[in-house]
Structure 1
Amino acid sequence: MSVPSRPVIAIAGLGIESSTFSPARTEAPAFHPLRGADVLTRYPFLAPGQPLRDAADWRGALVGKALPGGTVTAAAFAELSGELLDRLRASGPLDGLWFDIHGAMTVEGLDDAEAVLLARIREVTGPDVIVSTSMDLHGNVSRDLVHRTDLITCYRMAPHEDAMETKERAARNLVEHLVSGAPRPVKAWVPVPVLLAGEQTSTRIEPARSLYAAVAEVAAADGVTDAAVWVGYAWADEPRNRAAVVVTGPEPDAVRAGAERLAHGFWAARHDFAFVAPTGTLDACLDAALASASRPYFVSDTGDNPTAGGAGDVTWGLEQVLARPEFKDPAGPSVLYASLPGPDAVDTAVRAGVGATVTVTAGADVDDRHAGPLTLTGVVHAVRHGDRDAETEVVLRVGSVHVILTRLRKPYHHEHDFTNLDLDPRGADVVIVKIGYLEPELFAMAADWKMALTPGGVDQELTRLGHHRIHRPMFPFDPEMADPELRARIVPPSNQP
């Protein structure tokens, strides 16, 4: 093949985690798609003057990333993928494509949506274009996806502090491969029959810490370009959902040995994976928080975590909090609760203004399986407009609990998410957040924390969700299953059947 001195590379992708156990549906606007030159602004390493920017002619097609949520509607996928393909057609001849996805998108009527999208992309770009795919480690990697890509990698940290580093690695690997003129990489794929929640596989603790340290060792070996381990996405029910390993590089023996080393390491550690924090019922976690001298004490309301795909509007947790006698008095222990969507409640509070006492009803508009809409009376503490996710936020003080209500669901991961609402999370007694493992800023802020095993579309108790389409046997659904054959499959190049 010819060696382009400055290859022409398009960037495209759609990313979301879609819980099939949530009744929510995701529409096209949720992806906030960027188009054309605006796509490059997502990536600091492609800013003007950066070496990687100058190493290729980058052409943005369409990249959209949505807050995790429910299944993507067929109409939304048709709209976004159709525009993405049209923009690729208009990009002209390409040497490479960077496919920037999450890997856990479920679309109505489709299995393996990312592989379907890449197949359609291949029809537009032709078989000779080299594709590099970057993913979240909570994505799913089918044989079809591996077949249709040439280079593939994922995050090596959970929480995902290396997200941008991973994307840069995928882009750099692509440029270096194109410039080298080397044959298509060899791809060794091993599906691993384990499906665990992200909160059980955090790289902050063992065994995931050592497992992912081994990824870097394999990637550094002679004959290997990159190595990756996917935990998979536990809150969707599709045949592709499971852990997986892929190692790519020029030497078949090296990539095969590296992939099998990582797969055997994952399987051997399956019984050692544990939640990244102590767990319990919500009441037990609140009891522990109130008994502790550690402040602020964080409690994760895990079952409705919007950044894992929960609807975000389950009222069950907040209902339990407000029922606690300790929090009835405004002089009681100070509690921050984030958050609950309620557009009508937000409108009422905005009209009344800060300082007014209002009675509003919020929540359970999407997911009412565990509790109904919640009516609460409190004082409007703060109002804020213009948030990218929530649009409008209000804080209602009910007893000693400051409840954040939003027009649209929003994750609360940063200190400024609270301070922008005139709340002081460092000075609170208890901070309750709809989240799984604490994101880095919250983790650094918490004097102590626990994970409450609460109901919702991303319930941490996986075996009670009702998976019936995943490949069985699968750990932990079949805890006594026999050892699987963890043989690396050498997947044919993308331009071969």
Structure 2
Amino acid sequence: MKLFMASLATETNSFSPIPTGWSGFKEHLYTKSASRGEAGLYAAAVTRWRAMAEAQNWAVVEGLCTYAQPAGPTVRAVYETMRDDILSDLRAAMPVDVVLMSMHGAMIAQGYDDCEGDMMARVREIVGPDAIIGLELDPHCHLTTQMLDNTTAIVCYKEYPHVDVVERAEDLFALCAEAAAGRVNPVMRDYDCRMMAMYHTPFDPIRSYVDRMSAMEGKDGILSVSLVHGFPWGDSPRCGTRTLVIADGNASLAERRARELGQELWAMRNDLRRFPNMEDGLDLAVKLDANPVVLADFADNAGGGAPSDSTFVLRAALERGLRDIAFATFWDPVLVGMCMDAGIGAKMAVRLGGKIGPMSGDPVDLTVTVRGIATDAVQHLGTAEMNMGDCVWLEADGVHVVINTLRTQTFHPEAFQNLGIDLSRMKYVVVKSSQHFYDGFAPIAAEVIHLATPGAITPDYTIVPYTRRDGNFWPKTENPFAGEDPAP
């Protein structure tokens, strides 16, 4: 057997003011040897695939692996150049038996509403109808017909936070290896749940739902089951929640199971978690009188394309006079450079945040002391290393702020600990993240509160200004199935 593998990924926030260009990709991961020890989420799959393939004495050819922090649509020439690089290496590697790709599933470029579907169609054209094509996706994807029509199997991560990338890569490899050997015949069907929501897998009812979903796999002809959460801030006609089932040669079984799972999710829609607004969430944190209370600044999550420099929570905390409160991370390469030049112990007047646009709020002027500096800092999401760049710890009368040079969300307490910040001494810890922080912070938190903050990825899905998809989804429409019989 001969395997070709590659990775091209970003998550596009159609409403972000930050374009995704060359710097976005090359500052995180851009290599054709990612499986040889590179760090990051999108090196994890190819690293595991190489190990599994070589254990079976397969030949392995590795193409480009690259990832950009989520932002606005990718510049057309940048996408086309990277795509064509991968396709050129695939042509040179022919003939191949299996192609495995690690992508996000919500990548939009100028002129391309569906980069993953475009890539899969071009891969299929090269390898022909009989080769096996496997695609690993983030569940915050837009599952499109073009993706489904041109692949043998699609597997999404099951967990949010995404701590199971390696496990799902293993599932996809095993499924595609079985298909290549002729032992299974994967058939995929999906179901449109007509919902837009966040599905946090550590909490019921979603925890139990995902466990039931996983238990179906490997039984009664079901090969794989995925919940496609959708990415609500990507302006795609397919934006929204879907269920995906892969059956062994039985399309009607796959269709029926996908429909049943979708209807089960629809029935629990009113039991999904809801978040307090910023002021109510801060009130709750103060009343708890426990430490540390971890508060998620949901809408300023760089992992969803936000700038990671909004000041709404910081300003509210200052107005309330909160102390022993720590924030991470504010993206501000210029201020980081200034503080590093000044050195630890320097006292400075700084202008913090509010630089990128209206979704960042107004800048905050503070007099701060530089308390710590860390160069080339790293934090973890599960076992994946996530680069932060250079970081600086600023302190202003009991208000502690981490600023950094590589725009990224806060995944782990290491974002603070790298600089020497002792979170056990903080009453409040504010992380710019929507959910990926949870696996790292929950073990140290007295309480975790997700704040429905203002910003670039508002959790109010009824006001997202779509132009490419209709409004026939819950909660924007109370019953998007009106006039239909949703029963199987």
SS in 2 for 1:288: helix
Which whole-Å CA distance do the structure 2 matches of 1:51 and 1:167 have between them? 10
Which whole-Å CA distance do the structure 2 matches of 1:64 and 1:487 have between them? 43
* Residue identity in the other structure for 1:291: K
Deviations 1:90-136 (A, max 9, x none): 22311111121111112122212210121122233333321111111
Gaps of 5+ in 1: 1-6, 328-332, 489-497
- The match for 2:383 is none
Contact 1:304 1:310 in 2 (8 A): yes
Which whole-Å CA distance do the structure 1 matches of 2:392 and 2:467 have between them? 40
**Are residue 191 (structure 1) and residue 192 (structure 2) matched?**
yes
Contact 2:217 2:224 in 1 (8 A): yes
- The match for 2:353 is 363
**Are residue 24 (structure 1) and residue 18 (structure 2) matched?**
yes
Q: How big is the shift at 1:44?
A: 7.7
> After the TM superposition, which of the residue ranges 48-57 and 244-253 deviates more from structure 2?
48-57
Gaps of 5+ in 2: 38-42, 379-386
Contact 1:348 1:360 in 2 (8 A): no
Aligned pairs for 1:138-217 (under 5 A) are 138-180=140-182, 184-196=185-197, 198=198, 201-217=199-215
Q: How big is the shift at 1:472?
A: 3.6
Which whole-Å CA distance do the structure 2 matches of 1:49 and 1:97 have between them? 12
* Residue identity in the other structure for 2:232: A
Of 284, 297, 317, which residue of structure 2 is paired with 1:301?
297
Which whole-Å CA distance do the structure 2 matches of 1:44 and 1:17 have between them? 17
SS in 1 for 2:391: strand
Which whole-Å CA distance do the structure 2 matches of 1:426 and 1:91 have between them? 53
Q: How big is the shift at 1:486?
A: 5.6
- The match for 1:492 is none
> After the TM superposition, which of the residue ranges 446-455 and 409-418 deviates more from structure 2?
409-418
Which whole-Å CA distance do the structure 2 matches of 1:227 and 1:485 have between them? 24
Contact 2:340 2:373 in 1 (8 A): yes
- The match for 1:446 is 445
Note closer, same or farther for the CA distance 1:347–1:381 as it changes in structure 2 (3 Å cut).
same
- TM-score (normalised: structure 2): 0.89
Note closer, same or farther for the CA distance 1:366–1:78 as it changes in structure 2 (3 Å cut).
farther
Aligned pairs for 1:415-434 (under 5 A) are 415-434=413-432
> After the TM superposition, which of the residue ranges 364-373 and 133-142 deviates more from structure 2?
364-373
* Residue identity in the other structure for 2:374: R
- The match for 2:61 is 59
SS in 2 for 1:159: coil
Aligned pairs for 1:12-51 (under 5 A) are 12-31=6-25, 32-39=28-35, 41=37, 42-43=43-44, 46=47, 50-51=51-52
Aligned pairs for 1:315-326 (under 5 A) are 315-324=311-320, 326=321
SS in 2 for 1:188: strand
Q: How big is the shift at 1:422?
A: 1.1
Deviations 1:407-461 (A, max 9, x none): 2323222122211111011221110111123420111111112122111111111
Which whole-Å CA distance do the structure 2 matches of 1:207 and 1:238 have between them? 27
- The match for 1:386 is 376
* Residue identity in the other structure for 2:221: G
- The match for 1:396 is 394
- The match for 1:456 is 455
Q: How big is the shift at 1:479?
A: 0.9
* Residue identity in the other structure for 1:428: M
Which whole-Å CA distance do the structure 1 matches of 2:232 and 2:367 have between them? 37
Note closer, same or farther for the CA distance 1:40–1:447 as it changes in structure 2 (3 Å cut).
same
Which whole-Å CA distance do the structure 1 matches of 2:475 and 2:245 have between them? 25
Contact 2:377 2:418 in 1 (8 A): no
Which whole-Å CA distance do the structure 2 matches of 1:65 and 1:181 have between them? 34
Deviations 1:302-347 (A, max 9, x none): 11111222121222332332333x24xxxxx311111212222212
* Residue identity in the other structure for 1:24: I
Q: How big is the shift at 1:59?
A: 1.7
Which whole-Å CA distance do the structure 2 matches of 1:351 and 1:53 have between them? 48
SS in 1 for 2:90: helix
- The match for 1:493 is none
* Residue identity in the other structure for 1:268: A
Q: How big is the shift at 1:251?
A: 2.5
- The match for 1:234 is 232
Q: How big is the shift at 1:47?
A: 6.0
Q: How big is the shift at 1:362?
A: 3.5
SS in 1 for 2:17: coil
Contact 1:295 1:429 in 2 (8 A): yes
Of 117, 120, 123, which residue of structure 1 is paired with 2:122?
120
Which whole-Å CA distance do the structure 2 matches of 1:242 and 1:47 have between them? 30
Which whole-Å CA distance do the structure 2 matches of 1:40 and 1:171 have between them? 18
* Residue identity in the other structure for 1:187: M
SS in 1 for 2:302: coil
Which whole-Å CA distance do the structure 2 matches of 1:74 and 1:373 have between them? 32
Which whole-Å CA distance do the structure 1 matches of 2:238 and 2:48 have between them? 36
* Residue identity in the other structure for 1:434: K
Deviations 1:366-409 (A, max 9, x none): 23345233322111111122236442211111121111112232
CA RMSD in angstroms comes to 2.4
Q: How big is the shift at 1:52?
A: 4.5
